[in-house]
Copies of this chain bind each other. A is one copy, B any other.
Amino acid sequence: MKIKRSARTIIIVQELLNRPHHLFPLTYFADELGVAKSSLSEDIGLIKETIARLQLGIVETVAGAAGGVRFLPLIGAEKRAKLAKELCQRLQEPERIIPGGFLYMNDIIYDPEIAGWIGQIFASRYVYQPPEYVLTVETKGIPLAMMTARALGVPLVIARDDSKVTEGSSVSINYVSGSTRRIQTMALARRSLPRQARVLIIDDFMKAGGTARGMKELLQEFEAEVVGTGVLIATVEPEQKLVGDYFSLLELVNIDEEKKQVEIRPAAWVTQPLAEEEGLWQL
């Protein structure tokens, strides 16, 4: 079946966007679309240019026998700034304040579209050195971690509050939750992760950093290399967290329960171009 060039472009872009970071051999598309590999280069060139114009990422052609084409999500600084600003506006709504000085944000972090953007922003930092796994601990960070894993084309791994009989043997550690100062347990099924994997830690919120440190300690048991720790929101205070190298999309400056005011702002890196995006959007 002969497929028109314009339809071909739709098919290719659809496959690329559906599986970020997956390298599709050119023969895959050539066979699927019934065209010579040489005919594909013009299609791919157009896709590359359009995705760059939208500041959504890089469509990369890898030469050679093991080569092909892949889509690497990289949300440009301008778009990141816009998304972060919109998030701040919504998170500052006074009715989100929960007694005890907490911020209700489930409606935002469980929204697939928003979580999808956040995941793509986190993935933007690892465009050329993607991790092999994304780790989170149950429960609230799971949707964000899932969408980050999706954008990186890697599996998600979920640590549990306790070991589960349905997951087989597991490794568990105790850690001190930074804010409540309570001793808690975190467990990960042995089969979840091979030894010496490269892992990105994702969570929704960081105050003292106790949970993130717990995840790092758990990963040590698997001899994993932690490539980074990313959270949606980190509090400005305490400045000194229990983990050193983390990044957050937003910074929570203050919640004033009395005045019903929330102060939250994008982290500095969000609105500045990443090294990886330099020269990328000029067409």
Quick check: is A274 within 8 A (CB to CB) of the other chain? no
| Identical chains bound together, number | 2
| New A-B pairs, 16, CB < 8 Å, besides A18-B116, A104-B168 | A7-B50, A10-B46, A11-B54, A13-B14, A14-B51, A98-B167, A104-B167, A104-B189, A106-B158, A106-B189, A110-B156, A110-B157, A111-B155, A112-B149, A112-B155, A138-B139
Contacts of A116 in B (CB 8 A): 18, 150
**CB of A85 closer than 8 Å to a CB of B:** no
In this complex, how many residues of chain A approach chain B with their Cβ under 8 Å: the count is: 55
Interface of A is mostly: helix
A98-133 contacts to B (CB < 8 Å): 98-100, 102, 104, 106-107, 110-113, 115-116
Interface centre among A18, A112, A158, A189 (most CB of B within 10 A): A112
Chain B residue with Cβ nearest A120:
B18
Enumerate chain B residues within 8 angstroms of A110, measured Cβ to Cβ: 146, 149, 155-158
Contact of B19 with A113 in the complex, beta carbons under 8 Å = yes
Q: Are B6 and A46 in contact (CB under 8 A)?
A: yes
Does A49 lie at the interface of the complex (its beta carbon under 8 Å from any beta carbon of B)? Answer: yes
- Taken residue by residue from 36 to 62, chain A's Cβ proximity to chain B (1 for < 8 Å, 0 otherwise) reads as 000000000011011101101000000
Does A11 lie within 8 Å of B50, measured CB to CB? yes
Q: Does A9 contact B (CB under 8 A)?
A: yes
A7: contacting residue among B53, B56, B157, B158, CB under 8 A: B53
